[in-house]
Amino acid sequence: MEIRTIFHNKLREIQDDVLAMGSMVEKATNRSIEALKERDIEKAHEIIADDLKINRQRFNIEEKCVQLIATQQPMASDLRTIISVLYIITEIERIGDHAEGIAKIVVMIGDEPPLKPLVDLPLMAKKAADMLHRSLDAFINRDADAAKQIVSEDDEVDNLYDQVFRELLTFMAEDPKTITRATRLIWVAHNLERSADRVTNICERVVYMVTGKMEEMNISKY
Amino acid sequence: MKMNSILSNNKAVGQNETKLRTEAVSLYYGNFQALRNISLEIPERAITAIIGPSGCGKSSFIRLFNRMNDLIIGARVKGQVELDGIPIYDTTIDVVELRKRVGMVFQKPNPFPMSVFENVAFGPRRHGINKIGELEEIIKRSLHQAALWDDVKDKLGQSALSLSGGQQQRLCIARVLAVEPEVILMDEPCSALDPVATLKIEDLMRNLAQKYTIIIVTHNMQQAARASDMSAFFMMEEDRAGVLVEYGPTSELFTNPKDKRTEDYITGRFG
């Protein structure tokens, strides 16, 4: 029989909030690349405005965690869950900032002619958003193995980043007039690479929440 | 024997020798089995908390160490209980001498209906100390150790029953300390006290643990988490016999218990 029903309901509510916040950020990441592809400045402005909602949601969850710690003295896996949530929402919020960063680059680019059709950047975004989505599944399902699997996929994003960097470097070497545009695309790639790295941090917290072991699992190239 | 390397929340007890040990101990009250097959090593100069639901044998367990269960008709102990490696249920053991080394503080403060001075002097007098100068020294030291001296130094002649609940409990601790024990058993020492008096006792326990081995039974898990170095979780089996489920450093037991039953209990998933 569960005897701390109120406490455990509140804890579940926090986990649902984390999931909702995660899906806001996943959407922001996907939309930021759409905005880049479509040169959709209006969409970029929406993403920038939505980031405020994400930040507010993060403080909202943090406040709930503090309340639970202060009033319910959580122990064992409950305590680890709340501590993990505090770290995870920070990472999600930062991934949201990376999406906002991409949206700001879209605004900066404005209606400059495209340098090249975008291939690898959308792949990076798709991969990073997918990793984020699955890391939160692993969080909800308390699945440490799934979390470890996601960490190992960060190399794919790093490899795409290498590829984008090499390609854009070639453009710049061939024609210095492309430097501004190419550099902006490198910033976009960098934002996506950081997003995937932050997902690996989320995964580390999921492993801690489930096993109680703190371990650094991703030694990123970048 | 050295304990395995263990780091607790409050201090490192990894180097501490084992003070008390039980091996495969079972306790019976007549036909009823109260404890089953408990093996545990309690480090010296540390605080060990015994937690678990009501009726799981926590109090029965600590009463093994000063043979308080002997006072209950029909009580039988199987297995080995050792103090400093010496089996205390051996027929050659002097129980009075054992209880001098292993003192006890109870749930409700139980000062004798006499003066503060006489309460603390009671034990030493029983053990043959009668010189007033010597007694005064012992009483002053014990009351200091129990963090009660400043409260009562001007009213040593007053009735102990005039003190507050928290003061009475510290007086009972001073009374235990007066006979210079090595181990102090505490059976829910704060359950009758208000939160401030409770925190005072916890602070006092921490200071006493520099010199004494303390075992505390508590229903209050936050208290066990705050105040102890080692924690043991007991549970009742279907026949109502108490068993040891998990024992380890408090810092681990409350953040990452190994046994699901411990986890369920301390997170309140079962009561």
| Residue B268: predicted pLDDT | 87
Q: Which residues contact B100 (CB under 8 A, 6 or more apart)?
A: B123, B127, B179, B180, B181
The interface residues of chain A toward chain B in range 43-82, judged by CB-CB distance below 8 A, are 73-80
Residue B63 C-alpha from the chain's centroid: 9
| Residue A126: predicted pLDDT | 97
Alpha-carbon dihedral sign for residues B144, B147, B148, B151: positive
- pLDDT, mean of residues A200-215: 95
User: Do A171 and A182 touch, CB atoms closer than 8 A?
Assistant: yes
Q: What DSSP string runs through B207-231?
A: HHTTTSEEEEE-S-HHHHHHH-SEE
Nearest to A76 among B257, B270, B271 (CB): B257
Q: Is the pLDDT of residue A220 over 80?
A: no
Nearest to B270 among A1, A77, A78 (CB): A1
Nearest to A76 among B266, B270, B271 (CB): B266
Q: Which residues of A touch B268 (CB under 8 A)?
A: 2-4, 7-8
What residues does each domain of chain B span?
18-266
* Residue reference for tokens 């024992």: B247
CATH for the stretch B18-266: 3.40.50.300
- pLDDT, mean of residues A203-214: 96
Question: Min CA distance, A93 vs chain B (Å)?
Answer: 27
pTM over 0.95: no
Q: Which residues of B touch A75 (CB under 8 A)?
A: 221, 225, 254-255, 266-267
What residues does each domain of chain A span?
5-211
Q: Measure the CA–CA gap between B106 and B199, rounded to whole angstroms.
A: 17
Token digits of residue A152:
């190992």
Select the residue from A2, A75, A209, A215 to test the B interface by mutation, using most B Cβ atoms within 10 A: A75
pLDDT band, very low/low/confident/very high, at A31 (cuts 50, 70, 90): very high
- pLDDT tens, A104-157? 999 999 989 899 899 999 999 999 999 999 999 999 999 999 999 999 999 999
Q: Which residues of A touch B262 (CB under 8 A)?
A: 76
- pLDDT tens, A50-79? 999 999 999 999 999 999 999 899 999 999
| Residue B1: predicted pLDDT | 40
Q: CA–CA distance from B22 to each of B18, B19, B64, B65, B200 (Å)?
A: 11, 10, 9, 9, 31
Q: Measure the CA–CA gap between B203 and A194, rounded to whole angstroms.
A: 47
* Residue spans of chain B under pLDDT 50: 1-10
CATH 1.20.58.220 fits A5-211, yes or no: yes
Q: Is the pLDDT of residue A40 over 70?
A: yes
Token digits of residue A73:
């003295």
Convert A188-206 to b/e letters by CB count within 10 Å (16 or more is b). Answer: bbbbbbbbbbbbbbbbbbb
Rounded to 5°, the CA angle B218-B10-A204 comes to 100
Q: Is the pLDDT of residue A45 over 70?
A: yes
Task: State whether B256 and A76 contact (CB < 8 Å).
Answer: yes
Token digits of residue B153:
């130094």
* Residue reference for tokens 């218990």: B257
Of residues A30 and A220, more confidently modeled? A30
Task: State whether A3 and B267 contact (CB < 8 Å).
Answer: no
| Residue B6: predicted pLDDT | 42
The interface residues of chain A toward chain B in range 200-219, judged by CB-CB distance below 8 A, are 211-212
Nearest to A78 among B225, B267, B270 (CB): B267
Strands of the sheet containing B32-43, edge to edge, are: B86-87, B75-83, B18-29, B32-43, B242-249, B230-236, B47-51, B213-217, B183-187, B102-105
| Residue B170: predicted pLDDT | 95
